[in-house]
């Protein structure tokens, strides 16, 4: 009969923490309820369904990630900004693997618009101000940067680089060097 005082927020945070512990795919209504010490059915006053729960974790994580990256980016420009952005991004994924996995959840258009996804894009664009790129090239460059960050981190998470000797850190650093080179020598259309 002791009421613990659940709210949608608390449920979402518990789910996010659980995701970091056991992986995002393990985030289930029952598991979160178990952690919170309540019955599964009790959570349905706060969330619509599992999909809703997972979406909330995704939105939360996108916002957290945007905060981290934004803070890292403050006051930097050029390659400095590029490296700061990339390292903050990668650090978040290592520190919060479950939350990071959540950010890859496919969000519906209206949810995506309401989330921090836009902040990510504008921050990536901010990096490019340190390089001389035309407007139309910027979109392409943003996509390339995002692809590299996401692709590298995601392959690293799923153990894609394990069999080789070379440290993942070293390759990451070289990848950033390479991105700097290409932003300084952007190929003409």
Partner DNA sequence: GTATTTGCCTAATGCCTCTAGGTAATTCCT
Partner DNA sequence: AGGAATTACCTAGAGGCATTAGGCAAATAC
- The candidate with the shortest Cα–Cα distance to 147, out of 124, 181, 171, is 124
Residues 43 and 11: beta-carbon distance below 8 Å? yes
Site for DNA in 96-125 (CB under 7 A): none
Q: Interhelix angle for 168-184 vs 135-157, to 10°?
A: 170
- Residue 114's binding partner among DNA, its own copies, none (Cβ under 5 to 8 angstroms by kind) is none
Interaction of residue 162 with its own copies, rule CB under 8 A: yes
Residues 42 and 6: beta-carbon distance below 8 Å? yes
Interaction of residue 143 with its own copies, rule CB under 8 A: yes
Binding mask 16-55 for DNA (x = CB under 7 A): ------------xxxx-----xxxxxx-xx---xxx----
Q: How many CB atoms lie within 10 A of CB 122?
A: 11
If you write DSSP's letter for every residue of 86-103 in order, what string do you get? HHHHHHHHHH-HHHHHHH
Residues at the site binding its own copies, with contacts judged by CB under 8 A: 104-106, 109, 112-113, 136-137, 139-141, 143-144, 146-152, 154-155, 158-166, 168, 170-171, 174-175, 177-182, 185-187, 189
Binding site residues, DNA, CB under 7 A: 1-7, 28-31, 37-42, 44-45, 49-51
């Amino acid at each position: 009969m002791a009421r613990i005082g659940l709210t949608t927020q608390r449920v979402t945070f518990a789910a996010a923490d659980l995701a970091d512990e056991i992986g995002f795919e393990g985030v289930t209504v029952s598991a979160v309820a178990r952690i919170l010490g309540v019955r599964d059915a009790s959570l349905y006053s706060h969330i619509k369904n599992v999909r809703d729960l997972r979406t909330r974790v995704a939105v939360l994580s996108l916002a957290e990630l945007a905060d981290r990256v934004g803070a890292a980016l403050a006051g930097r420009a050029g390659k400095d900004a590029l490296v700061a952005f990339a390292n903050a991004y990668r650090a978040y994924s290592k520190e919060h693997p479950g939350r990071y996995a959540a950010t890859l959840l496919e969000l519906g258009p209206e949810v995506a618009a309401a989330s921090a996804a836009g902040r990510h894009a504008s921050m990536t664009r901010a990096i490019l101000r340190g390089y001389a790129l035309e407007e139309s090239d910027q979109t392409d460059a943003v996509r390339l940067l995002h692809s590299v960050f996401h692709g590298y981190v995601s392959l690293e998470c799923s153990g894609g680089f394990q069999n080789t000797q070379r440290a993942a850190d070293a390759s990451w650093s070289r990848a950033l060097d390479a991105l700097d080179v290409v932003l300084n020598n952007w190929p003409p259309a």
